[in-house]
Structure 1
Amino acid sequence: MRAILVLLCFWFSVSAWANQLQSIRVWPSPDNTRLVLDMSSAPSYEYFTLQNPHRLVVDLKNTQSRVRFNSIANKSTLVTKIRDSKPEAPNSYRLVFELKSSVRPVLFPLTPAGDYGHRLVIDMPYTDGARVQQPLVQPVPPPQQAVRNTAPAGRKEVVIAIDAGHGGEDPGAIGPKKNREKHITLAISRRLADLINKEPGMRAVMTRTGDYFVNLNQRSEIARKGRADLLLSIHADSVANSGPRGASVWVLSSNRANREMAGWLEKQERQSELLGGVGEVISQTDGNPYLTRTFLDLSMDKSRADSYAISEHILSAMGKVVRLHKAKPEHASLAVLKSPDIPSLLIEAGFISNPEEERLLLTADHQQKVAQAVFNGVKSYYRQNPPSGTMMASQSTGRAQKHTVRSGESLSLIAQRYGVTMSRLKGHNSLRTDVVRIGQVLDIPGS
C-alpha cells in the first residue's frame, strides 16, 4: 500500500510539472538578441512587457526550472539581467529579462532537430540605444589584420559580400566528431575577407562577423546595402553517407528564378530599395506589369549569367589546390542565391560528414587554401571582366581584352558588362547581327 501511495505521489508530481526549463542560451547580434530556452517538452507560455524599468516577463505553464542564472553566458548589450520571479498562476514558472531599452519581442517554439530538443525562441530587435556596434569585417586571427587598400578618388572598389553560412542557434551540419559547420564557415569567411581587403581595388563585406544567426533573406539585404558586386555564401556539405568528399559551387536554378520573379512582382512598392538602379527605372513605369517583368527578366538573366561565369573561375582555381566533388557548377533552389540584382554563389568547401574532410576543414592550413582559391577565382574573373567605373576597370583600360561567350549571355549583356555600347562592340568585331554563339570569342574595345 505504501509503495502505491509513493507511486501516486510521484505521478501527481510529474503531472503538475509536465515540463522543465533545462537551460537558457543568449545569442547577441548587431541587429537583435536571440534567447533560446531549452525545454524538456513543447512549451506553453504567455508573455508581456513592462516599462520603468524595461522588462520582458515570460510565464512558462506547468514548468519547473533547473537553470543556474549565474552560469548563463550573456554578452548581450540589451539584456542586462536574467532572473526568476513569483508567478501569478500555480504550477507556472516566471522568467524576467531586465532590458536596457524597450522591445517588441517575437516568441515562437521550435520542435526537436539534430542535437536540439524542444525550444522556445525569443527574438528581440534592437533600438538605437541597444544596438551593437560591430565592424563589417573583423580581423582574422591568427594571421595578420587586413590592411585596407582604398581605390583612388573617383574609382569604385569591387565589393564582395561574404556570407558565413548558419550561425548562432543554427549550427548547420555536424560532423562525425561533433564539429559544427557554422564555425568552419566563419573561419574561412574571415580568411577570405582578409585576402580581399589586401587587394587594391577590392573590399569585403560580411553578412555576419560572429556566432549569431542572420535571416536568410536579410543576407542578400546586407550585401545590397553594402553595394556588393557579388555575394559568396560559404558552407560545408553533408550527406548521410560518409564517403563523398570534395568542394563544389552552386548557382540558382532556372525553376527557382521563375518562382522568385513572381515574389518580386508582388513587392513592387519596395523594388526601388531592393533592386538598386533597376528599381529606380521600375518605379517610373506607373505599375505597368509587362514593362516591370521585362526589367526583372533582364536583371535576373544578367545576374545568373554572371554567377555561372564567376563560378567557373572559382572552380578552376579550387581544382588546383583541393579536391572537387563536381567540376562544373551545380544548380539549386537556395534562398541565398535568389537576388535578381547581385550575382550570388554558394560554395561548399568540402564534406563535413566525411571524417577526413572534417579534420581538414578544421585546420588553419586547409581553411587558408580554400579561401585563397576562392579569392584567386574571383580576382581572375574581375581582372577579365572589371565593372565599369572601378579601379580594376581603369587598370585594364587600353589593354586588349577578349571575352568568350557563355551560356545565357547576349550581346547587350556583354556590352553592359564592359561598359561599351552595342554598336561599338558590333563594329569592333565586324558583327552583322546582335546574335552571338556560345564559345564565340569577342574582342572588347578599350573604354
Structure 2
Amino acid sequence: MKKKGFLEFAMTILLLAGAFFLPRESAQMLQSATTDPITVLIDVGHGGADSGKVGVNGALEKDINLQISLRLQSLLKEAGITAILTRDTDKGLYQETDSNKKLADMKARIQMITDVDADIVVSIHQNSYSKSSVSGAQVFYYTSSEQGQQLAQAIQDGFDYALGDRNTRSIKANKDYYILVHSPIVSVICECGFLSNPEEADLLTTSDYQQKIAQSICNGILNYFQNSNQSTLS
C-alpha cells in the first residue's frame, strides 16, 4: 500500500476508534510502530479564582475544562499513553500571595511543561464570541510550528468527524497565546465549543458530549503519533 493510502486508511481507523474500538486497541497500531513511551501533558485551562469564560447558561469554563480533561486523561491511559494534568481539582497554579495571579499561573504551567518532559501539550479551553450564533470546536497552534500544525489538524479532523455538520471550523495559527509562545515543546489549544452559543453551552455541560469531545481529542492524538511514526519509518 502506498504511503498516502496507508495514512488515509490509518486516519480513518483511528477516527472510528471511538465507535468501534477501545482506545487500547487503537493504540496497538501505534505501539507496533514504536517502542518509545509517549507522554501527553493535558493543560486544564483556568481554575480557582480564574473561572475563564462564563456561559449564557451560567456554566463556568474552568469546570467544563476539568471534566473534559479528566475524561481525556482516562482515554489516553487506556491507550497506554502517560497523561499528566496541570490540575485535577478546581485550583489555580498560583500562590495566594502572588500579586499577579494570572501571570503566576501561566508561568507555573510552562514550568510544569518543562519539568515533565512530555512529547506534546494539549491545552483544553472553551470559547466565546459576541454573536451567539457562532459555534464549533477549533484547534490553535503556534504560527511557526510545523508539528504543532500537524497535531492541530489531527485533532481538528477528530472534532469534525465526531461532531459532524455542526462543526465547520478550521485550525488556526496564533503567535500571541502564552502557552503556544512559551511552551518548549509541540503544543496546541483546543477550544472545544462556544459558551456564548445557547445550544452548545448546554451540550458542553452534559457528560455524553464531554465524553464525545474527549474521544475526539484522543483519536486525534493517536492519529498524530501514528502519522509521525509512519513518516519517520518511511
TM-score range, shorter chain: 0.7 to 0.9
What is the alpha-carbon distance in structure 1 between the residues aligned to residue 156 and residue 50 of structure 2?
27
Equivalent position amino acid for 1:207 in 2: T
Number of the residue aligned with 1:206? 85
Cα distance 1:340–1:180, how it changes in 2: closer, same or farther (>3 A)? closer
Maintained 8 Å contact 1:312/1:329: no
Counterpart residue type for residue 189 of structure 1: S
Which residue matches 1:391? Answer: none
1:327 equivalenced with 2:170 (yes/no): yes
Q: How many residues align?
A: 192
For the pair 1:344 / 2:184, whether they are aligned, the reply is no
Task: Name the amino acid aligned to 1:327.
Answer: S
Equivalence for 1:234: 124
Work out whether residues 43 and 121 of structure 2, in 8 Å CA contact, stay in contact via their aligned partners in 1. yes
Q: How does 1:79-94 map to 2 (within 5 A)?
A: none
Q: Call closer, same or farther: CA 1:206–1:168 in 2, change over 3 Å.
A: same
TM-score (norm 1): 0.41
Distance 1:360 1:248 in 2: 16
Unaligned runs of 5+ in 1: 1-146, 255-303, 387-400, 404-417, 419-443
Would the aligned equivalents of 2:40 and 2:82 in 1 still touch at CA under 8 Å? Answer: yes
Alpha-carbon distance in 2 for matches of 1:196, 1:223: 18
Decide whether the 8 Å contact of 1:321 with 1:373 is kept in 2.
Answer: yes
What letter matches 2:44 in structure 1? A
Of all paired residues, the percent bearing the same amino acid is 32
Aligned partners of 2:113 and 2:183 also within 8 Å? no
Let me know the Cα RMSD of the aligned residues. Answer: 2.2
Query: Does 2:125 correspond to 1:246?
Result: no
- Counterpart Cα distance in 1 of 2:109 and 2:140: 17
Give the counterpart letter for 1:219 in structure 2: R
What's the CA shift string for 1:220-250, capped at 9, x where partnerless?
A: 2212211110001100101122111000001
CA distance in 2, matches of 1:333, 1:366: 29
State yes or no: 1:216 paired with 2:112: no
Change over 3 Å in CA distance of 1:312–1:329 after alignment to 2: same
Residue 20 of structure 2 is matched in structure 1 by none
Specify the alignment match of 1:317 in structure 2: 158
Counterpart-to-counterpart distance in 2, 1:336 and 1:187:
20
| Residue matched to 1:95 | none
Q: 1:367 to 1:208 in 2, by over 3 A?
A: same
Per-residue deviation, residues 263-312 of structure 1 (Å, max 9, x unmatched): xxxxxxxxxxxxxxxxxxxxxxxxxxxxxxxxxxxxxxxxx111101111
Match of 2:45 among 148, 165, 172: 165
Residue 374 of structure 1 pairs with residue 217 of structure 2:
yes
Provide the secondary structure at the position in 1 that maps to 2:161.
coil
Which structure has greater strand proportion?
1
Matches within 5 A, 1:408-447: 418=232, 444-445=233-234
CA distance in 2, matches of 1:210, 1:223: 18
More divergent stretch after superposition (356-365 vs 320-329): 320-329
Equivalent residue number for residue 359 of structure 1:
202
Which contiguous aligned blocks of 4+ residues in structure 1 show a shift greater than 6 angstroms? none
Q: Which has the higher helix share?
A: 2
Preserved contact between residue 119 and residue 186 of structure 2 (Cα < 8 Å): yes
Distance in 2 of aligned mates of 1:315 and 1:188 = 16
SS of match in other structure, 2:121: strand
Separation in 2, partners of 1:339, 1:216? 10
Which TM-score applies when normalising by structure 2?
Answer: 0.76
* Structure 2: runs of 5+ lacking an equivalent: 1-23, 94-104
For the residue of structure 2 that corresponds to 1:306, the secondary structure is: helix
Could you say what secondary structure the match of 1:341 adopts? Answer: coil
Report the CA distance between 1:331 and its aligned residue. 2.3
In the alignment, is the contact (CA less than 8 A) between 2:110 and 2:183 conserved in 1?
no
Name the amino acid aligned to 2:49. Answer: E
Contact 1:250 1:332 in 2 (8 A): no
Structure with more relative contact order (C-alpha pairs < 8 Å, separation 6 or more): 2
CA gap 1:325/1:216 in 2 versus in 1, 3 angstroms: farther
